[in-house]
C-alpha cells in the first residue's frame, strides 16, 4: 500500500483545462495579440517566473507577460465558476482512498483562493488532508517542490507516494521528486519522453485507481 496520493487539480480533478484554453483568445485580443495554440501548450502546468517566460517566448520580450497572465486567470476563473465539472472517476478514487485509509493531498500551481473555491463548489474538500497552492513553494512545476511539500504535509515518503498529473510539466515534476507518477492525459497525449517519466499512463481516474490498488 502506498503512503499517500497527491493530486494535481486543473485538468486532473476538474475539467478546467478546456476553459483555460478558451480564455486565451479573448484575453490576447484585448492586448492586441493573435492566439496561437502553442502559447497554451507552453503555459500549461506552469506558474510564476516560468509561466511569464513561456508567455514572453510566444509574444515577445516586450509583451506584458505577467499582466496578461493575471487577466487570463480572471477570465478563466469566471468561466470555471459557471461551468466547473469533476473529471470522470474522481469521486470513485477519492472514496477508495478514504476507505483504505490512504491520505490524499492537492498540489496545484493555482492560487489558494481558486483551489478553495473549486473544492468547496464540488464538495471534495473532506477527502484531502492537505492542500498546497502556488504560494506554498518557491519553484513551480516542472520542479518537484509542490509535490515534496504536499508529501511532507501528509507524512508520506516520495518513493512510496503516487502523483497524479495531466500536464507534461507536472509529470516532469513528479519524476524529479522520485514519486510514482501516473499520468491521466487531458488535452494532450504524452510523447515518448513523457511516457518514460511515468509509472503508468491511464485513460481516466477509474483506471488510475486500479493501478494504485495494485501497488
pLDDT at 171: 97
Domain 17-83 architecture: Orthogonal Bundle (1.10)
In this chain, the answer to whether the domains covering 4-15+85-213 and 17-83 adopt an identical fold is: no
pLDDT at 4: 98
- Tens digits of residue pLDDT in 61-109: 999 999 999 999 899 989 999 999 999 999 999 999 999 999 999 999 8
Express as a percent the part of the chain with pLDDT over 70.
100
The Cβ of residue 148 has, within 10 Å, a number of other Cβ atoms equal to 21
pLDDT at 13: 98
> How would you label 89-101 residue by residue, b for 16+ Cβ within 10 Å and e otherwise?
bbeebbebbeeee
- How is the chain split into domains, by residue range? 4-15+85-213, 17-83
Q: How far apart are CA 156 and CA 128, in angstroms?
A: 14
- Note the pTM of the prediction, 2 decimals: 0.89
Which CATH number describes the domain made up of 4-15+85-213? 3.40.50.1000
Show the cell assigned to 92. Answer: 470513485
pLDDT at 74: 92
Range list of H helices, the chain: 17-30, 37-43, 48-59, 65-83, 90-100, 112-122, 145-153, 168-176, 192-196, 205-213
- Tens digits of residue pLDDT in 167-197: 999 999 999 999 999 999 998 899 999 999 9
pLDDT at 45: 76
Q: How far apart are CA 200 and CA 16, in angstroms?
A: 23
Amino acid at each position: 500500500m502506498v503512503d499517500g496520493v497527491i493530486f494535481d487539480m486543473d485538468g486532473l480533478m476538474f475539467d478546467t483545462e478546456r476553459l483555460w484554453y478558451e480564455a486565451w483568445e479573448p484575453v490576447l485580443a484585448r492586448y492586441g495579440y493573435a492566439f496561437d495554440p502553442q502559447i497554451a501548450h507552453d503555459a500549461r502546468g506552469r506558474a510564476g517566473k516560468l509561466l511569464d517566460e513561456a508567455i514572453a517566448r510566444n509574444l515577445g520580450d516586450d509583451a506584458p507577460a505577467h499582466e496578461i497572465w493575471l487577466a487570463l486567470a480572471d477570465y478563466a476563473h469566471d468561466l470555471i465558476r459557471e461551468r466547473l465539472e469533476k473529471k470522470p472517476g474522481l469521486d470513485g478514487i477519492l472514496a477508495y482512498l478514504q476507505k483504505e485509509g490512504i491520505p490524499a493531498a492537492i498540489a496545484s500551481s493555482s492560487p489558494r483562493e481558486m483551489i478553495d473555491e473549486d473544492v468547496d463548489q464540488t464538495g471534495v474538500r473532506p477527502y484531502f488532508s492537505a492542500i498546497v497552492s502556488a504560494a506554498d513553494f518557491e519553484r513551480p512545476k516542472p520542479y518537484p517542490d509542490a509535490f515534496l511539500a504536499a508529501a511532507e504535509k501528509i507524512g508520506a515518503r516520495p518513493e512510496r507516494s503516487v502523483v497524479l498529473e495531466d500536464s507534461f510539466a507536472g509529470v516532469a515534476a513528479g519524476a524529479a521528486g522520485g514519486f510514482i507518477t501516473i499520468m491521466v492525459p487531458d488535452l494532450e497525449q504524452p510523447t515518448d519522453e513523457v511516457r518514460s517519466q511515468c509509472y503508468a499512463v491511464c485513460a481516466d481516474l477509474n483506471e488510475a485507481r486500479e493501478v494504485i490498488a495494485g501497488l
